[in-house]
Amino acid sequence: MKVVVVSGGVISGLGKGITTSSLGRLLKARGISVTIIKIDPYLNVDAGTMNPYQHGEVFVLDDGTEADLDLGNYERFLGQSLVGSHNLTTGKIYRSVIEKERRGDYLGNTVQIIPHVTGEIKRAIREVAQSTGAEVVLVEVGGTVGDIESMPFLEALRELSYELGEGQMAFVHTTLVPVVGPVGESKTKPTQHSVRELRAIGIRPTMIVARGPAPLSAEIKSKISLFCDVPPEAVISVPDQALIYEVPLVLEAQGVGAHLTKLLGLTGREPEYGPWKEFLDTHRKGEGSVEVAVVGKYTELRDAYLSHTEAFHHVQGRLGCAIHLSWYDAEDLPRDASAMQRLEASDAILVPGGFGARGVEGKVQAIELARTHGIPFLGVCYGFQMAAVEFARNVLALPKANTSEVDPHTPDPVVCLLEEQKTVGGLGGSMRLGSQKVSLSEESAVARVYGRTEIWERHRHRFEINPAYLDRFRAHGLQVTGRSSDGRVEVLELGEHPFFLGVQYHPEFLSRPESPHPLYVALVRAALARKEVPRPDAPTPSLA
């Protein structure tokens, strides 16, 4: 068992997740099997109950775990699916220690942070190593070194490195090297302080990844090397990149892959980046421009829709057209005529998932625009449910139609609570979650997009389309073209429209750089096709 720990210093938000994912990619490119664990030092058992404004998107895994968004980065960079044991939180660790104590497993002992909590952390890490059989386990420690919350985790990792012995573990510390002053000087002091903090808890970093706006000069690298006690070739500069998927190559260019394998005593083949580089080359082309409008309610924090944004990058890397995302706050839309005009001019509209009443009327309005103006539309989860609400209101003439999530007393609950949800108590981990099979109708648009009729997609919802309205939907052109094994509505599509699809599941979680999700590719293709057709309301080009 070899372990690479990635910690962070100075500030949060340095891109530790991208660093960890990229290190994993470097090893994988050498044919070394890897896996990644994320440590989140908060007391929540999982990310499911957290507001996207605080922690960004909740990423759903195949097994239904509601995880930190970094798990999404790991899956995308490694091209591997992960499960819940790869996201450790303080809540999970404490819960199992307390359960063990109640069961009597520690009988006679005083249960303490050291050795019981740290022991539980080490056990969880070893278990992932064993169950995956990966040669290298990367462990990203969330938060910043020095935080009280992350202490038990760092202590556990220090103990683990002692137990595993020399050459089995590498500690990569990510820090900030800010550039300040009128002459733009790179400052190493924050890095020095943060490394001192790490050493105070008994961890000596083996590699420093310096983040910042500019590349580090050789002089700054050797300064960090001297002060922080790492060789100059282990001081790595990762300046901000336009695209996160460039980072593995930025690391590779500085010899990180070779250095890391040597540190861990591993032998790998020459690194292979074929499809990855192809993806980057096509992405860089970025010809023309397609504008996709995203109508959501967490638009101020882009991380809340991270997997959607990434999915569009994956499409750009496949189709080579520049995709521009315009963000619309669904709550403002009903009061903002100029935003509605801009929305009308966009090449495609995506309405992503969400919860609660805020912003739903704006989503319904955006969907109506897409439906009536032939604008390619993809509705995901809540966006799909709102498409049913819009259709019921405006086509079936049921003006009060709604989801019972927003209006429990609506006379027309076209979206209502899943049967099994009616008896569910708590909000944590209690939705319909994870990967489920969906059967698509032959001859449907959605089956053409996927190129098959059986798919597996990830879910996260409590409400579903009410089957009582399906006949009327069908009679007016809105067809059910995807169902779960137990008959729930998974896909709705509109005939007589260039591209109008709603899906109950979350395709964004399965899109990857080397294999963009077919629904996103199809949406962008439809948007490109729309751009080519002259619009009746477009101004006639003047020859003058």
Closest approach of ligand GLN to the CB of residue 476, in Å:
23
Would you call 324 a catalytic residue per the annotation?
Answer: no
Closest approach of ligand GLN to the CB of residue 79, in Å:
25
Q: Across-strand partners of 34? A: 136
CB contact set of 165 (below 8 Å; sequence gap of 6+):
none
Distance of CA 199 to the CA centre of its chain: 32
* 403 vs 479, beta carbon nearer ligand GLN: 403
Closest approach of ligand GLN to the CB of residue 53, in Å:
15
Please check whether residue 489 is in contact with residue 470, taking contact to mean a CB–CB distance below 8 angstroms.
yes
CA dist 283 and 277 (Å) reads 10
Catalytic residue, from 116, 140, 508, 517: name it: 508
- Per DSSP (E only), the strands in 97-186 are 136-141, 169-176, 179-180, 185-186
* 308 vs 314, beta carbon nearer ligand GLN: 308
Catalytic residue, from 197, 381, 416, 457: name it: 381
Closest approach of ligand GLN to the CB of residue 307, in Å:
12
Going by C-alpha positions, the residue among 485, 512, 459 that lies closest to residue 62 is 459
Strand-strand pairing, 321-329 and 287-296: parallel
Helix intervals (H) in 373-412? 382-394
CA dist 153 and 141 (Å) reads 8
Query: Phi/psi of residue 167, each to 5°?
Result: 75, 10
CA dist 505 and 385 (Å) reads 11
Q: Is 457 left (phi over 0), alpha (psi -120 to 50) or beta?
A: beta
Closest approach of ligand GLN to the CB of residue 487, in Å:
17
Closest approach of ligand GLN to the CB of residue 300, in Å:
18
Closest approach of ligand GLN to the CB of residue 200, in Å:
43
* 269 vs 422, beta carbon nearer ligand GLN: 422
CA dist 417 and 405 (Å) reads 8
Rg (CA), the chain: 25
* 382 vs 499, beta carbon nearer ligand GLN: 382
The string of DSSP letters for 61-77 reads PTT--EE-THHHHHHHH
Closest approach of ligand GLN to the CB of residue 423, in Å:
16
Bond before 115 cis per omega within 30 degrees: yes
CA dist 74 and 51 (Å) reads 21
Would you call 99 a catalytic residue per the annotation?
Answer: no
Contacts with ligand GLN by CB under 6 A lie at 353-355, 381-382, 385, 405, 460-463
CA dist 234 and 170 (Å) reads 11
* 458 vs 525, beta carbon nearer ligand GLN: 458
Buried b (16+ CB within 10 A) or exposed e, 474-500: eeeebbbbbbbeeebbbbbbbeebbbb
Helix intervals (H) in 373-468? 382-394, 445-450
Going by C-alpha positions, the residue among 260, 36, 34 that lies closest to residue 134 is 34
Using Cβ positions, the residue closest to ligand GLN within the complex turns out to be 353
Going by C-alpha positions, the residue among 18, 32, 7, 15 that lies closest to residue 262 is 32
Catalytic residue, from 314, 497, 506, 517: name it: 506
* 6 vs 414, beta carbon nearer ligand GLN: 414
* 327 vs 355, beta carbon nearer ligand GLN: 355
Would you call 506 a catalytic residue per the annotation?
Answer: yes
* 143 vs 353, beta carbon nearer ligand GLN: 353
Question: Active-site positions?
Answer: 381, 506, 508
